[in-house]
Amino acid sequence: MGILSDKKILITGVLNDQSLAFGAAKLAQDEGADIILTGVGRGLSITQRTARKLPRTPDVLELDVTNPQHMASVLNHIQSKWGKLDGVLHAIGFAPSACIEGDIFNASWNDVAVALEVSAYSLKALVEGVLPLLRQAGTSSVVGLDFDASMAWPGYNWMGVAKAALESLSRYLARDAAKDNIRVNLISAGPVRTIAAKSVSGFSAFDTLWNDRAPLGWNVTDSSAVAKAIVAFLSDWFPATTGEIVHVDGGYHAVGA
């Protein structure tokens, strides 16, 4: 019996099989969960194709997290299929190129507003959108994906600011969702070569640097450790942990040089 057996989990952010959420989706199924994926825009058909690479092909629902109608139909679909949700993975990030190229002066407020809405505010929108289902489960777990926002990184610029907002938001959500026994935690992952990561101009700087510096080493093409941490947080094995940010980065955050 797996640690997610009988759990119903909503997983966002599976674009292709390199997506951090794909590894989590596969492991969640291996651990016994029933899952539903979401996809967005032109990526939806890629998500549908990627879903077929999973051990059991899950439903794929359309969800642009900034679209309240999409959110409402996700709620209705899951309401009639399962009537509850035990867990949600928020694996959503996007910033216009002006936010992740050049320097911090490069982006206008219009660009920054998109980055903040899709990459930070969306955690609140997602939790709020499925709140009746999370309540129905009795206890539930929300997991989001972070990139350490305590310092400035090459090229990350306004995504870094959005991640700082996400970190703060996760603590307020943890405080205010606790009355419904909903836990909210973030995994602060080391760099993994995904479509989103490749759009960050400074990402290649991490290719060898992270592995050289992290006490446990790091492989930018292997997200299995991130998947394990996500699944652990979706399970019943962290019943008294909320508002937490756990680093899954080979220990990079703990060393100065």
Which residues in this chain contact ligand NAP in the complex, by CB under 6 A? Answer: 12-13, 15, 19-21, 40-41, 43, 63-66, 91-94, 118, 145-147, 189, 191-192, 194-197
Residue number with CB closer to ligand NAP (13 or 87): 13
The structure tokens 């305590």 sit at 150
β-pair partners for 10: 36, 88
Residue number with CB closer to ligand NAP (136 or 156): 156
H, E, C per residue of 140-202: EEEEEEECCCCCCCCCCHHHHHHHHHHHHHHHHHHHHHHHHCEEEEEEEECCCCCHHHHCCCC
Closest residue to ligand NAP in the complex (CB): 43
Residue number with CB closer to ligand NAP (53 or 239): 53
Taking the complex as a whole, how short is the minimal distance between the CB of residue 22 and ligand NAP, in angstroms? 8
Taking the complex as a whole, how short is the minimal distance between the CB of residue 101 and ligand NAP, in angstroms? 16
Taking the complex as a whole, how short is the minimal distance between the CB of residue 5 and ligand NAP, in angstroms? 25
Vertex 174 angle, CA 242 and 87, to 5°:
75
Helix (H, G, I), strand (E, B) or coil at 59: strand
Residue number with CB closer to ligand NAP (42 or 179): 42
Residue number with CB closer to ligand NAP (94 or 233): 94
DSSP state of 241: -
Taking the complex as a whole, how short is the minimal distance between the CB of residue 89 and ligand NAP, in angstroms? 9
Q: Compute φ and ψ for 248, nearest 5 degrees.
A: -120, 80
Taking the complex as a whole, how short is the minimal distance between the CB of residue 114 and ligand NAP, in angstroms? 9
Helix (H, G, I), strand (E, B) or coil at 60: strand
| Residue 248 host element (H or E) | strand 245-248
